[in-house]
């Protein structure tokens, strides 16, 4: 199962730089990133090629970080690609709590990373709907 690394960070200059410096020095590649802030603090969510190692390094450097399992769904890079995923989740009562997407270079495909409460149920539902998931190895090697 794929993991994203989540880091709590105060919303101030230099916080993201510290996170990226730690990962750069360790030669850990960031595949996707999303940042959300509220009330002066934020969560930096990272898809990296070595999530367990990244988590360990960030924690050793004193950052508050955790890993969260996510689902990486392949979708067409065309109108309606995301709608197919949203409809499949909606029809089975699966709430998408958080999500972000990115394009796979030269493949005319995109990936939607989903954070849902019940991952096993969501995986079964998405597979039943004919959608394809990326394994953790496939996702980290993009």
Query: Per residue in 70-99, is it b (16+ CB within 10 Å) or e — as a string?
Result: bbbbbbeeeeebbebbeebbeeeebebebb
Share of the chain above pLDDT 70, in %: 99
6-64 pLDDT, tens per residue?
A: 999 988 899 999 999 999 999 999 999 999 888 888 999 999 999 999 999 999 999 99
pLDDT at 58 (0 to 100)? 98
pTM: 0.86
The pLDDT score that the predictor gives to residue 107 is: 67
- Judge whether 2-68 and 70-140 match in fold: no
Q: What residue spans define the domains of the chain? A: 2-68, 70-140
CATH topology of domain 2-68: VC0802-like (3.30.2130)
- pLDDT tier at 130 (50, 70, 90 boundaries)? very high
**pLDDT averaged over every residue in the chain:** 92
Class of domain 70-140: alpha beta
């Amino acid at each position: 199962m794929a993991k994203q690394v989540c880091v709590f960070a105060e919303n101030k200059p230099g916080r993201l730089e510290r996170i990226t410096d730690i990962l750069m020095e360790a030669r850990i590649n960031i595949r996707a990133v999303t940042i959300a802030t509220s009330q002066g603090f934020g969560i930096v969510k990272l898809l990296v090629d070595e999530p367990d190692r990244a988590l360990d390094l960030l924690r050793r450097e004193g950052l508050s970080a955790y890993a969260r399992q996510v689902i990486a769904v392949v979708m067409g890079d065309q109108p309606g690609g995301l709608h197919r995923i949203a409809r499949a989740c909606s029809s089975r009562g699966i709430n998408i709590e958080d999500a972000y997407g990115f394009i796979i270079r030269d493949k005319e495909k995109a990936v939607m990373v989903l954070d849902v409460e019940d991952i096993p149920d969501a995986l079964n539902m998405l597979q039943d709907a004919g959608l394809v998931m990326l394994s953790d190895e496939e996702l980290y090697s993009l």
